[in-house]
Amino acid sequence: MFRRYWVVLSVILAAVLVVSFFAFAVEQADKDAILNELSAYMDKNPMVLRDLIFSMASRYESENNLDKAILLYEKAVNMGIDDRDIYNRLLGLYEWAQKFDKVEAQIRKLITMAPEDSSLYGKLADVLDKVGKKEDSKRAWQEYLEKV
């Protein structure tokens, strides 16, 4: 009787484990199928992710995790999401993190996207001045004054 009890219990436990394994496998297969479909759709239109990226990055920022937010925006840019708002957010994060070499590069990208935005030239001049590039800063101020 005692041995029979353990055999029955073992069989029931094995059945539960097998059923849960198959349920997990089905769930994982469904997740994989959805991810594959999303991946194919994103390859055609990467801008679909824009709002999701903003949401996730904002969450990282609120948690004061600047590196994760920066990395997320950089990945978005590398994926081909060519959006001025993302470049502006990335610029703000670089400034906040005091990564002035990246701030300079980001401002230059924004200037190529919107050369008519005179405020960018002033920002560039300020950053160049902060990092000690006085001559470049003067040229940026001259460009700024020409645009205004």
Residues 66-108: tens digit of each pLDDT: 999 999 999 888 887 878 899 999 999 999 999 989 999 999 9
Q: How far apart are CA 97 and CA 23, in angstroms?
A: 45
Between 100 and 17, the more confident residue is 100
When comparing pLDDT for 9 and 81, which is higher? Answer: 81
Q: Is pLDDT larger for residue 60 or for residue 140? A: 60
In the chain, % of residues over pLDDT 90: 26
Give the position of tokens 């940026």: 140
Q: Which residues fall within 8 angstroms of residue 41, CB to CB, at 6 or more apart? A: 48
Average per-residue pLDDT for the chain: 81
Q: Count Cβ atoms within 10 A of the Cβ of residue 124 and give its class: 0-12 exposed, 13-18 middle, 19 or more buried.
A: buried
